[in-house]
Amino acid sequence: MRRTLPLHAIAWIVGAFILVPVLYAVLGGFKSTGQLSTNPFGLPDPWQTGNYTEVLGAGSFWRQLWNSTFIAVTTTVIVVLLSAMAAFVFARFAFRGREVLFTVFTMGLMFPFAVAILPIFVLLRTLGLLDNPLGVILTQAAFGLPLTIIILRGFFRGIPGEVEEAAIIDGCSPFGFFWRILLPMARPALATVSVLAIVGSWNNFMLPVVVFSDELSWTLPLGVQQFQGQYASDTARILAYLVLAMLPALGFYALAERHLVGGLTAGATKG
Amino acid sequence: MTTLTRGPEAPARPALRRADPRRRRIRVTVALFVLPALVLFLLLVVAPIVVAFYASAFKWNGFGGLPTNFVGLDNFTRLLGSDLFHQDLRNLVLLVVFSLVVQLPFSLAVAMLLNQRIRGRAVYRLVFFAPYVLSEVITGVLFSLILSPGSGLANHLLGFVGLESSWLSAPDTVMYSLFLVMTWKYFGFHMMIYLAGRQGIPNELIEAAQIDGGTSWKVFRHVTLPLLGPTIRISVFLSVIYTIQLFDLVWILTEGGPSHASETMAVTMMEFGFGRNQVGYASAISVVMFVLSFIFALFYQRFVMRRDLEGASTRMGDHR
């Protein structure tokens, strides 16, 4: 223990660097803004729950939570399903042009999203998909394809050919093999890419901010930004909103940490 | 792993040649499985990038079908001569240098720390990585309040030692403040990559060096660090590519201000594209961003990561 004491001290300092801003937000939400400037460090005195309850009582927070959830889940279903299908044939069929096609997808990793945002905006406007969740969902799914396909193809390749041959002998069609055998076997990889897609969609700002002008379509990041603008001087209230907006992401992180970290490190090294 | 699959080098299975109907069925299957992804990808990734290149040669407000007012390379000459763009480049270089000199070594040090057998390291790891999961907007708003020059937490804290700063609201401190926030949010990500890389190094190698009498610094410097080379090169790569397209954090924290001091290329592009409807000019900026990323990626993979791409050491992280 004595040997590791300095190490713990350093870890605590780094931990404080991370945690103090978050604790400030959590406690600040329980203060009034006046209290926040006279008593920035201490515990709230008295504890005021008004900031939190007012945010929770307003419909906009819940609507943004729902929009974020809906967009994240739909994006994930689309990108994982389409990627799994493509990765399946890339991994297990020999056909002419396969490597070229696969390379086209992997090149997608090199396209920064910001490069495409203007044409995408014009395209979505032409298609009438502005202020439509589908505009954000389809675009996010399209940009999620490269990494998802790469990770899934790697995993599908690792499943022994004997499994497929046995299934075919038993009368399985390629689709039957894909749907009933490959996908269930690939559950860990599917979980990893799903977690990546959910987090990416949940935190996305650049796309929704140009696509959604109608308040009813806003996701949580847009809501947070707007809330700050609206209550600029009421710091405590903004902190309460921030904390509540953080909770779903942190809760999800606590549940899915293993998949998230595994996916990111795998994605980082393969991308 | 590849021995179990039909790679491109594997001979086509006899079954593929036996009968034509079977081959056709395979072609149909392939098409049905790839087409949905391909269509989506071509429509929303490839086409927009092509259009961005095309539009960069026009004066265009983004309305009325495809642009018609061809101006050749005028957008690029205007861009290369603009002070704002020079500011973008200076900020890019500054952030990249800071990341390489401060943020990544810091992440590496923390990763080495958490690689020791200390109690509670799983909790430390969980906490250090947590900011990466928060959205840029939440991070940005939180820090804009903390770094607020009037009543922010940072100045309350530093007030004890008389070191109050104007943080994000003065041109000469804004970039440091931005970098501080970036470090808060992203060092955990790099730490995780380094940890995964460190776990891919057999402990025997490190132990052998220790037995041979190396001090911990020498072992780190001459054994661990070189073996971590591929991992470090990847994290440098990701950091640079990310910095080239940096937008969300800057937009929330400063909108590029004060007086464009913290502006990045993506911010300039969004201002001209959406704020002033100069879509052609903004497309030229996005093309420059693309070309910078592309050249960097090519150069980096050709000269820096070359040895890593076929090495066994890139296996790290592939622990599924």
CATH number of the domain within which A100 lies: 1.10.3720.10
pLDDT at A245: 94
Instruction: Count up the domains in chain A and report the number.
Output: 1
pLDDT at B317: 39
If you count them, how many residues does chain A have? 271
User: Which residues in chain B (65-104) have CB-CB distances under 8 A to chain A?
Assistant: none
Distance CA A179, CA A193 (A): 17
B76-315 maps to which CATH number?
1.10.3720.10
Rounded to the nearest integer, the mean pLDDT of chain B is 85
pLDDT exceeds 90 at position B150: no
Domain boundaries defined on chain B = 14-70, 76-315
Residue B315, token pair as written in the block: 């296996």
pLDDT band, residue B99 (cuts 50/70/90): very high
pLDDT: which is higher, B151 or A87:
A87
The answer as to whether A8 is a domain residue is: no
Cβ distance of A188 and B146 shorter than 8 Å: no
Distance CA A150, CA A90 (A): 10
* ipTM value: 0.90
By the CB < 8 Å criterion, does B318 face chain A?
yes
By the CB < 8 Å criterion, does B196 face chain A?
yes
Cβ distance of B45 and A116 shorter than 8 Å: yes
Cβ distance of B279 and A192 shorter than 8 Å: no
By the CB < 8 Å criterion, does A186 face chain B?
no
The answer as to whether A30 is a domain residue is: no
Max CA-CA distance within chain B? Answer: 84
pLDDT exceeds 80 at position A144: yes
The answer as to whether A229 is a domain residue is: no
Name which of A7, A17, A252 is nearest B118 (Cβ-Cβ).
A7
> Would you call B278 helix, strand, or coil by DSSP?
coil
Task: Tell me the pLDDT tens digit for each residue of B62-81.
Answer: 887 778 888 888 899 999 99
User: Which residues in chain B (129-188) have CB-CB distances under 8 A to chain A?
Assistant: 129-131, 133-138, 141-146, 148, 151, 153, 156-157, 184, 188
Pick the range with the lowest mean pLDDT from A79-93, A109-123, B241-255, B270-284.
Answer: A109-123
Pick the range with the lowest mean pLDDT from A84-88, A263-267, B114-118, B277-281.
Answer: A263-267
Task: Tell me the pLDDT tens digit for each residue of B166-216.
Answer: 888 888 889 999 999 999 999 999 999 999 888 888 888 888 888 887 788
CB A136 within 8 A of CB A208: yes
By the CB < 8 Å criterion, does A68 face chain B?
no
Query: Which residue in B56, B51, B54 sits closest to B79, CA to CA?
Result: B56
Q: Tell whether pTM > 0.95.
A: no
Structural domain range at position A158:
63-219+256-270
pLDDT at B135: 93
Q: Helix H segments across B6-165?
A: 14-18, 20-41, 47-55, 74-80, 83-98, 104-115, 121-133, 136-146, 153-159
For an interface test with B, the pick among A1, A14, A149 (most B C-beta atoms closer than 10 Å) comes out as A14
pLDDT at B8: 47
pLDDT: which is higher, A265 or A173:
A173
Pick the range with the lowest mean pLDDT from A250-264, B4-18, B238-252, B286-300.
Answer: B4-18
The residue type of A134 is: L
Cα A238 to Cα A52, A135, A208, A228, B137, distances in angstroms: 10, 29, 21, 6, 13
CB A152 within 8 A of CB A189: yes
Residue A213 dihedral angles phi and psi, to the nearest 5°: -105, -25
Task: Tell me the pLDDT tens digit for each residue of A228-243.
Answer: 888 888 888 999 999 9
Distance CA B264, CA A115 (A): 13
pLDDT at B257: 79
Share of chain B above pLDDT 90, in %: 48
Burial environment of residue A20 by CB neighbours within 10 A (0 to 12, 13 to 18, 19 or more)? middle
pLDDT exceeds 50 at position B12: no
If you count them, how many residues does chain B have? 320
